[in-house]
Amino acid sequence: MITEATIAKVKYPPELLPDAVFNDIPASAEVVTPILDLRRITGRLLRLSEIAVERDAAVELRIKNDDMGLHSGYNLAGGFFGLTSDVSPYANNFQMLAKDRLYYNLFSTAGETAFRTSFGVWVQNLTIADKLKLGIPLTSEERAIDKEFGISSTVEKGLLPLPLEQQIEREYRSQLLSEETHGRTMNVTATSQLVETIYPRAGQFLVLTKL
């Protein structure tokens, strides 16, 4: 489960935190313990992304990112690519940006047992450009940096903040040696089960980009 403590442990942003759960959903209610409920986001910018769910017309996705959220006209799980679809479930394109609060849960009109969903949370440092874009007040030190380097002007031109993909490119791509896709088919028991452990070679590091 991703919590505020999980976010605080991120060392090398932008970093993807994947999660997958199955929950019972009471009839006419949400999952009792919310799947994701981050309320104290400090110095970070979060993106809820890559949501996959089982297709079910009786289940709704409940998402809140700051003072916004997923419109009720587009939140039925029956309308998305399913977890077992021949089309990748990650064709469900979500980038729900949050600086204060990020919430994701499931609601069912009929009630569900062991309903599955997976998702990812991208964690980024909150930069001066991000603050200017989102209307967050700068500190006196940040105002001085903005004035010296003309960050406000660059933000107004749409050149900053950098898109997430470009941030990843700048942080990691120049050092990239290879990309790999790993797959496993297995029977999962009632207890937790290890899928795979991967260790980097000496002098190298690994970056998980999708689950």
DSSP class of 98: E
Given this model, what pLDDT does residue 89 score? 54
Q: What is the pLDDT along the chain (211 residues), one digit of tens a residue?
A: 999 999 999 998 999 999 999 999 999 999 999 999 999 898 999 999 989 899 999 999 999 999 999 988 889 999 887 776 666 655 678 889 999 999 999 999 999 999 999 999 999 999 999 999 999 999 999 999 999 999 999 999 999 999 988 888 887 777 778 888 998 888 877 777 888 999 999 988 888 877 7
Distances in Å between the Cα of 126 and the Cα atoms of 1, 4, 18, 99 are: 23, 15, 20, 8
d(CA 19, CA 125): 20
Task: State the CB neighbour count (10 A cutoff) for residue 172.
Answer: 14
Domain boundaries, the chain: 4-125, 128-173
Residue from 6, 4, 21 nearest 105 by CA? 21
Contact criterion met (CB below 8 Å) for 95 and 50 = no
Given this model, what pLDDT does residue 206 score? 86
4-125 placed in CATH 2.60.120: yes
Given this model, what pLDDT does residue 48 score? 96
Given this model, what pLDDT does residue 85 score? 65
